[in-house]
Amino acid sequence: MQREHKMVAAAVVVATLMGGVALAASKQTLEFPKNYRDWAHAKSMVIPDKAHGLYGFHHVYVSPNARKAYQEGKFPLPESSTLVVPFYEVETKDGATHQGPLRMVAVMKKDKRATDTGGWWYGAFDPAGKALEIDVKQGCYTCHEPQKARDYLFSTWQ
C-alpha cells in the first residue's frame, strides 16, 4: 500500500477515462480528457523496477493546442495545453516486454490560475475512472519545479 501511494505521487510527476479531480489549494476541477488517445503521442518509456516511484509502461500524449510548441521545445506552452500519461503494468512473456493492464492515468493542464503550482493543474485517475486524492503540491509540483525553464515538463518530443 505504501509503495502504491509513492507510485501515485511520483507518477503524477510526469500525469481514468471519466470524472474529475478536485485539486488541492483551489476549487478547480480537472476533467479527464476522454479523447487523449487521438492526440499526438510524444514518447513512450518503461520503468520495470516495481520499487521505483514511476514504475510502469507509460506514454505521453500532448493536446492538439500544445503539439507544435511542445514538438519545437518552445516554452511556455499555450494556455489549456494538456499532457496525459497513462501508466500500465509491465509484462514480460516469451522474451518480449509489453504493457499490461492500465494502472492509472496522470494529467497536467496549463492554467494561469494555478499560481501555487507553476501554472499547471495536476491530477490522477485510477483505471475505473475514479479521481485519486493526491497532494498535488507535494506529490507533483515539488518534483516538476526544477524543470521551470522547460515550463515544468520532464518529457521531450521523441
DSSP three-state, residue 137: helix
What is the pLDDT, as a whole number, of residue 77?
Answer: 97
Identify the pLDDT of residue 23: 44
User: d(Cα 117, Cα 107) in Å, to the nearest integer?
Assistant: 14
**Is there a cis peptide before residue 48, judged by omega within 30 degrees of 0?**
no
Q: What beta strand segments (E) does the chain contain?
A: 20-22, 29-31, 40-47, 56-62, 82-93, 96-110, 120-125
User: What domains sit in the chain, N to C, each tagged with a CATH number?
Assistant: 2-146 (3.50.70.20)
Which residues of the chain are under the pLDDT cut of 70?
1-29
Q: What is the pLDDT of residue 9?
A: 39
Q: pLDDT at position 8, please? A: 40
Measured in residues, the chain has a length of: 158
Model's pTM, two decimal places? 0.81
